[in-house]
Structures are given as structure tokens and as C-alpha cells.
Structure 1
Amino acid sequence: MNGLSFSELCGLFCCPPFPSRIAAKLAFLPPEPSYKLNADESGSKFSIEFNDKAEWQYSDREKDNIEVFYTRTSRGNRIACMYVRCSASSRFTILFSHGNAVDLGQMSSFYVGLGSRINCNIFSYDYSGYGPSNGKPSEKNLYADIEAAWQCLRTRYGISPENIILYGQSIGTVPTVDLASKYEVGAVILHSPLMSGMRVAFPNTRRTWFFDAFPSIDKVPSVQSPVLVIHGTEDEVIDFSHGLAIYDKCPRAVEPLWVEGAGHNDVELFNQYLDRLKQFVTVELVN
């Protein structure tokens, strides 16, 4: 996240409503789309077409296990959704809210690899303004986007809440915490979570101001599902202290994963990452 300009700092203290806009500017960086959805002749079924930015690592056989479609949010935006069937025997489906500056095309290979390794199917979506999803990224749209994805998972696929794991990464932890504070689910995974927008932009912030954005720290006490918090100790974007604070506020937190030496974008490269997820999904949640 970038620093703030002098005018933005002035706006922060002179015109309190500005910070949420500042936080949004810092948080949302939609990339150039790495894929598109092509409709069939009927216009009701879609297939995914990756471009080079997606860096798709698998064959067409794996692509056949990916179902894509659009759904409409309560705020009127049409967002792209992706269901990755990784295992016929999986009990859990992960509702994955991805991080910043990526879209579903760039995440698709990761989803295939992750789901097959921890025996979970994965459902994900692109935020308003990301990939081919229309609208603009905003805090309110984030909450509407995940709610629409949740409703698709429940109605289109008939998956029960106890078999859904909400997984949020970085900015994706914001809608994940919001949804988890409303519905009890099988589990929640918060990967590099942030306390709030102001606390990221101004690390010395000690309270939640009325104009703050993304106040996850105030919502996590309402999460009644088991929560696994993952954070790198050398995170240069969202300081490690955010993960610690979120963990402390979770009523049903399980043993966290603090990845020694990991930054913001490389936690998945450490062996502990997959080991901890496997333990959580295949042992702790089953027993």
C-alpha cells in the first residue's frame, strides 16, 4: 500500500469522511484482466479463456473441472464466479476471497493445486471492477459481492453452511470476516488479515473512527465458527501485529500459523502453509 500525499493527509484531519476513500484507494488495485468468459449460443453457459497473464499451469483436463458463470449482486453489479471441482470425495468447499491486484484467471492454477492437496473444492469470485466483473471496487461492493457468492454456493450447488470454509486473503479477509460475523460456517481462514483501513495507513491508530474503512477488528468477536489465522512475521504490507490482534479477538480461534520470515505474498511457498491447512481441514475439523 502506498503512502498518502500531503493533500490527502490534510483531508484526513480537516474532512473526516475522506479516510474511507483514502483507504479504498490504497486497497483496490484491479489488474488488467487475465481471462474472459465466453457465452455459448444459448447465452446461458460460459467457458473460460485465459490469456498469458493468467499463467495457467495445467491441461484442458483440469480446465474441464472449472465451471464459470455470472451472478448479480444486491447492488446491481454482475460478478464473475468460478467453481473448481478438485475432488469427488471432498466434504468441504472453500469460498475463497482472493487478495489484491489479482483476478480469478491468475488464481485458477493456485486453486486447482490447493484444492487437490487439501481435498476441498473451491468456489471463488471476482470483486466488482476485477476481471470481467462490472462496477467499481468499494467497501460496500465487497460485502455485496461475497453475499452474492455465498447465495450461489448455497442455492446453485446446495452446499450446507457446515460444509463451507470461508477463506480470505489480505483484502479478501474484509468481506470474509463480514460474512462470517453473520453466518456460522464450517470454518474460517484469515490469511494476512487487516484490523482496519486506518490501522494499515496509520499504524499508530488505536481505535476505530466512525469514518474508518474495513473495520474487521470490530467484527471478529461476532464470528462463531473456528478461525485459523495465518500471517507472515515479516509482512511488509499488513504488519504482523494485525494478525496477532485479529487472533486475540476471535472467540473460537484455533492454533494460528505464524510463518517466520514470510512477507505478504510468499506465505504459500513455505512448507508449513500446506501442512497447517491439511491438519486443520482433514483432522481438526473432522474430529
Structure 2
Amino acid sequence: MSGLLPSIESFAKGAFATTAGLGTVCFSLLFFGQNFLIYLPAYPPGSRTAVASPGDHGLPYQDVELRTSDNIKLRCYMFVQRKDISQLGALDVESSEDETEEQFSSRRPTVMMFHGNGGNIGHRIALAKIFYVKMRCNVFMLSYRGYGLSEGSPSEKGIQLDAQCALDYIQNHPSLAGSPIVLYGQSIGGAVSIDLTSRNPHAVRALILENTFLSLPRLVPNAFPILGPVSFLCHQKWDSASKISLIPPTTPILMLSGLQDEVVPPEHMRSLWELVQARTGGPSRSESSGGKTVHQVPSASRYAQFVEFEHGAHNDTCVQPDYWTTIDKFIKSLDGSRSASPVSPTSSSSESS
């Protein structure tokens, strides 16, 4: 028995050392390396050097260079509406002969696109085309710092500055200053949208949120199970749960969730929806059909809708049946934003949270 005790003692010391070592690794990964785990601008390979051009899709666009308040240069794309883009297959929108191009574009909605944590804006041009051609919206595609051809390294504070810089640019643009601004955020882009609106509640007309989360610390146990016990160390917060209540209840919100989401558990979107309902001050009614379930607050002055797509995964919810029809109806419901033609699903390259 006495010979066994040293062996047990050695094992215990070894186990303690191993646990301490793993704990140190987990601590280091989460605290010091979390930006590399969260933001994936180089995935897929080549994303930091090769950015597709809207011209490759036959779209007229402008290269926009923004300079943020901390002196980072962002390389973005912008699509400004014109009265006649029939050459792209778009239907006409009613306009008088004496209405200028600037007046026309200023009364069309402007969709600001905030993408997920992987790839670059070039991977989302097919989505921008639907907003531009089918819904006749102006479109601004923000390239976060450290993504695509933009300078810098991504972080929560930095991307917040990027989003604010883009919003300020649109609000001061000669053709878009009067345009109703709609934020379209996918995954982490949804968190960017919520944060930006909470800080500019009267500048944003409406929000469209797809497969986003309550906060990053709450997402860590699902995305990185090994780091779950130390998720409290996550300093990249993107705390949408606390910020969504700061958005005025009269700001329309459309939430789109894929029930097969393998990155962000659908429970996150459902919990955000509960917060949105509380913000609007009333219960919702639900209806299921055709592979989707629609939950809506039945108040015209406080419009909010939550749509769950039965077969939607994290990266392909945008190609599910009725996804774009749902967005089209939402855009139409906004003042002065009638859509000109029916829409249909399109293919999209992958993105992550």
C-alpha cells in the first residue's frame, strides 16, 4: 500500500499540471487570440488579395474609399439608383420627367450591407444585385477594416468605427442624404447593425437581421466548446441582447433565422425576438406554411417580424424559398419604398458568424 501512494501522488501532480497547462492554453487562446478566432478575413484563402468587382456582374458601381476617425482606409462598393436601369432587367419605378437622378435616388431606400466574419464584400455581390436590380434600392457594401482591400485589423471597437464612418458618409452624400436607410446584417453583421442603430436611433429607418446572436460570450460555448468554461474572458462582446432594447419600438425589424444553423444556435434568434417583442410592447401571432414559420407583432406602428426557415443553415438561409420575397414585402412596407419587380432566390458564397 505504501508503494502505491507515491504513484497516486505523482499521478495527481501530473493531472494537476496537465489541467493547469490546458487552462493556460485556453486562457491564452481566448484572451489574446480571440480576434483570430472570431474574425476570419483571410478565409477562404485569397480573400485578402482578391475581391470580385460588381463590374464582373454587369453592375454599375462606385469604388468608395473611406477614412475612419482613427485614420484607417476602407475600400467599399456603392450602387446608386438611376431612373432607368432597364438594361439590367429592372422594371421602371414611377418618376416624373422633371425629377433629377439625384432626387430619384434620394427617395429610394439605401441598404447598408454588413456581412459575416469570413470572406469579403466581393463574395456578397449577388445579394447586393437583388437589392439593386429587383428592389431598386441604393446599396452600400461596407468592407470592414482588415477585410478585403481595407487597411487595419478587425476588432469590435474598430468595426464600430467603420460602421459609423459609413453611416456618416451616406447621410452626407448629395444623392443619398434623404434616403431611408435600411441595415442588412448577416451573422456578426447583425450585431454590427444592432450596435450602429442603438447609437444612431433616428438615422436608421429599418433593420433586417439574419442568423445573428445574443452576444459573443454567450456564443462561445457553442462555437468553441473547449473554451466554454472561460467564455467570461471574451472581450469582443457584440452584446446585441442589451443594445436591441435601445432601438426605438417604431423602428421596423425583420428577423430571418435558419433552423438548421450549425454556427449560431436558433435559440439566440428566438431570444432576440423575445426582446424585440418586449420592445414593441405586445405579443406576436404565428403562422406556418411552406417550410417557414412567421411570427409578427400585429401593430402597424410598431412593425416587427420573425421568420424561421425550416431547412436554412447558417450560410444558405438566403437561398431558402420565400427568403427574398419576405424581404421584398418588408422593403415595400417602408415609406416611399415600393419594389418594382418580383424577386427570386440566388446563390451565395459561404460566410460564417
Q: Which residue of 2 aligns with 1:256?
A: 306
Q: Which residue of 1 aligns with 2:63?
A: 68
Q: Which residue of 2 aligns with 1:222?
A: 246
Q: Which residue of 2 aligns with 1:166?
A: 183
Residue 37 of structure 2 is aligned with which of 12, 26, 30? 26
Residue 52 of structure 2 is aligned with which of 51, 54, 79? 54
Shift in CA distance, 162/54, structure 1 to aligned 2, threshold 3 Å: closer
Shift in CA distance, 278/189, structure 1 to aligned 2, threshold 3 Å: same
Q: Which residue of 2 aligns with 1:231?
A: 257
Shift in CA distance, 157/112, structure 1 to aligned 2, threshold 3 Å: farther
Shift in CA distance, 271/66, structure 1 to aligned 2, threshold 3 Å: same
1:255 Cα deviation from its structure 2 partner: 1.6
Residue 137 of structure 1 is aligned with which of 151, 154, 159? 154
* Mapped contact 1:81–1:126 kept (Cα < 8 A): yes
Q: Percent identity?
A: 25
Shift in CA distance, 21/148, structure 1 to aligned 2, threshold 3 Å: farther
Residue 245 of structure 1 is aligned with which of 271, 280, 298? 271
1:176 Cα deviation from its structure 2 partner: 1.1
1:271 Cα deviation from its structure 2 partner: 2.0
Kindly report the root-mean-square deviation, in angstroms, between the aligned alpha carbons of the 2 structures: 3.2
Structure 1 window deviating more from structure 2 (95-104 vs 211-220): it is 211-220
Letter in 2 for 1:248: E
Unaligned residue ranges in structure 1 (runs of 5+): 1-5, 37-50
Q: Which residue of 2 aligns with 1:200?
A: 219
Residue 173 of structure 2 is aligned with which of 131, 150, 156? 156
* Mapped contact 1:33–1:132 kept (Cα < 8 A): no
Structure 1 window deviating more from structure 2 (84-93 vs 135-144): it is 84-93
Residue 274 of structure 1 is aligned with which of 307, 324, 345? 324
**CA deviation vs aligned residue, 1:151-187 (integer Å, no higher than 9, x gap):** 1111124534770001111111122111100122210
Tell me the distance in 1 between the aligned counterparts of 2:132 and 2:27: 48
Match of 2:323, SS state, is helix
Letter in 2 for 1:238: V
Tell me the distance in 2 between the aligned counterparts of 1:261 and 1:87: 37
Letter in 2 for 1:105: G
How many residues were matched structurally? 261
TM-score with structure 1 setting the length: 0.79
Please state if 1:127 is matched with 2:125.
no
Please state if 1:112 is matched with 2:129.
yes
Higher alpha-carbon Rg:
2
1:33 Cα deviation from its structure 2 partner: 5.3
Structure 1 window deviating more from structure 2 (208-217 vs 126-135): it is 208-217
TM-score with structure 2 setting the length: 0.65
